[in-house]
Amino acid sequence: MKFLGKWLPLLGFRSSSDYWLRRYRLGGDSGAGSGGVSADHKAQVLNRFVTDQQVRDVVEFGCGDGRQLQLAQYPAYVGFDISADAVARCRQLFANDATKQFFVIGEREPEPADLALSLDVLFHLVEDATYFAYLDQLFAAARRFVAIYSTVGPEAGKTLRHVRHRAVAQDIAARFPDFERMLDYEASLPAPIETRPGGARFVLYARR
């Protein structure tokens, strides 16, 4: 079922949002990056960041199926996703955790949080308008910090129907001058899982 949920939505691919709506509806999950070594790495970085920066609350855009979140240590969390099926899974998975809430995008207006979070989302936004609208929403929701895990350059790898690699850091620098990249903090992090040029890694921003 997971195999069908991953590949069937690529048939007749229409848009980024349609792909993920169909993927979750068919029983697919958030992908390999939400489990295993990659998930452990992201949790290690984010849990440390939340502690170091005394982050009080987190908002995530693209919460997916919630597997990555099971490793998180956040005081309070709100997750948004375009897929009602993904949100339903998260609500069931964390039904007994009062510190976490989940909503379909458009169901409620996001409230600003100390940390706005994006994990493995940007390279799946293949349309320019969708990509820039997502960035606008992400940075608007950050009171203090933005944490992004993504490929960071167009040289990262092959472009597929549902994957497009972009110059993320350059786009953010041009679009959000009120935020500064935390290069010193990034340098102190464990080595990225992917070491090729433009490979997936954390880019972290603080409001000036």
pLDDT tens for 73-109 read 999 999 999 999 999 999 999 999 999 999 999 999 9
**Amino acid of residue 140:** A
Q: Which helix (H) or strand (E) holds 44?
A: helix 36-52
144 lies in some domain: yes
Report the CATH number at residue 146: 3.40.50.150
**pLDDT tier for residue 113 given thresholds of 50, 70 and 90:** very high
DSSP state of 191: P
16 lies in some domain: no
pLDDT tens for 127-177 read 999 999 999 999 999 999 999 999 987 765 555 567 889 999 999 999 999
Q: Which residues of 170-198 are buried (b: 16+ CB within 10 A; e: fewer)?
A: eebeeebeebeebeebeeebeebbeeeeb
197 lies in some domain: yes
93 lies in some domain: yes
Q: What is the dihedral of CA 158, 162, 166, 172, to 10 degrees?
A: -160
1 lies in some domain: no
70 lies in some domain: yes
pLDDT tens for 11-28 read 556 677 777 677 888 777
The total of structural domains in the chain comes to 1
- Greater pLDDT, 114 or 7: 114
Percentage of residues of the chain with pLDDT beyond 90: 71
Report helix, strand or coil for 147: strand
Residue numbers of the domain that contains 71: 31-207
pLDDT value at residue 154: 74
Query: CA-CA distance, 10 to 104, in Å (whole number)?
Result: 22
106 lies in some domain: yes
Query: CA-CA distance, 92 to 82, in Å (whole number)?
Result: 17
145 lies in some domain: yes
